[in-house]
């Protein structure tokens, strides 16, 4: 029965119907497996082998347009109340999924010829080690989508075991991340200063501030507020 189901490969490119999941999601079976922390990386690998085209397909997660690589990195981790070994295993599985989806070319070129019996079997081929070019491509994609926490984790994971060549090759990405962090730090500092200033005004000027607050509420209701559309939380 499983083999017959998997032969319907065209369905692996279809998005899940909106009557099954909320309309804020539009995901293929592969993207759904990438996001679900209960799905092991071996299942994701089977789906990648069955339909490599799905690896690069646009998805929608919480109304944000994205791709399975980002979806995998955004996969949730149990809260801190869970045992640390459970959380570590979920993080390990998540990172294995991220690495699989970085190996898009391998699935498209070398693995696509695998038979259905090989895919269903337990002995899956081991993906090749991630290359420098794949790290740069993943970082560029993450930066384009403002997923800076994925950029941070990619640099951390691959710089920890990298030689000088890799570190030098990724220096421009490290610089971009540092610039982003400075902007965030400046923004947070200004928010703190604004909050402290407003608290002082309310504490010392009382009734004078009520008309000002009413005007600000009106402005916020009329002018759309900008939101950060990033999906990936700190991964380590």
| Residue 133, pLDDT above cutoff 70 | yes
- Could you tell me how far CA 29 lies from the centroid of its own chain? 16
Q: What is the C-alpha separation between 28 and 16, in angstroms, rounded?
A: 6
In the prediction, which pLDDT does 8 show? 57
Q: What is the C-alpha separation between 152 and 234, in angstroms, rounded?
A: 8
In the prediction, which pLDDT does 135 show? 92
- On whether the pTM is more than 0.85, the answer is no
| Residue 28, pLDDT above cutoff 60 | yes
Instruction: Give 173 or 213, the one with higher predicted confidence.
Output: 173
| Residue 204, pLDDT above cutoff 70 | no
Mean pLDDT, the chain, as a whole number?
Answer: 81
pLDDT tens, residue by residue, 135-158 = 999 999 999 999 999 999 999 988
Instruction: Give 41 or 23, the one with higher predicted confidence.
Output: 41
Q: What is the C-alpha separation between 230 and 138, in angstroms, rounded?
A: 15
Which residue in this structure is represented by tokens 């403002």? Answer: 146
Quick one: how many helices (H) and strands (E) in the chain? 12, 2
In the prediction, which pLDDT does 236 show? 77
Give the CA dihedral 208, 209, 211, 214, nearest 10 degrees. Answer: -170
| Overall average pLDDT of the 162-184 stretch | 81
The sign of the torsion formed by the CA atoms of 143, 146, 152, 158 equals negative
Alpha-carbon separation of residue 121 from 34, 45, 124, 125 (angstroms): 20, 12, 7, 10
């Amino acid at each position: 029965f499983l083999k017959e189901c998997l032969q319907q490969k065209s369905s692996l490119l279809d998005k899940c119907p909106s009557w099954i999941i909320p309309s804020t999601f539009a995901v293929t079976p592969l993207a759904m497996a990438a996001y679900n922390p209960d799905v092991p990386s071996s299942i994701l690998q089977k789906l990648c082998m069955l339909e490599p085209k799905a690896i690069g397909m646009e998805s929608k997660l919480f109304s944000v347009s994205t791709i399975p690589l980002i979806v995998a990195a955004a996969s949730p981790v149990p809260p801190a109340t869970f045992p640390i070994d459970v959380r570590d295993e979920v993080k390990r599985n998540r990172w294995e999924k991220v690495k699989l989806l970085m190996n898009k070319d391998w699935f498209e070129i070398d693995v696509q010829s695998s038979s259905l019996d090989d895919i269903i079997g337990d002995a899956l081929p081991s993906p090749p080690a991630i290359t420098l070019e794949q790290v740069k491509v993943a970082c560029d994609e993450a930066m384009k989508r403002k997923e800076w926490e994925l950029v941070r984790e990619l640099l951390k994971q691959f710089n920890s075991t990298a030689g000088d060549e890799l570190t030098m090759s990724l220096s421009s990405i490290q610089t971009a991340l540092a610039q982003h962090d400075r902007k965030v730090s400046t923004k947070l500092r200004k928010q703190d200063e604004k909050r402290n200033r407003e608290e002082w005004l309310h504490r010392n000027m009382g009734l004078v501030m009520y008309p000002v607050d009413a005007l600000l509420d009106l402005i916020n209701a009329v002018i759309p507020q900008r939101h950060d559309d990033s999906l990936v939380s700190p991964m380590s």
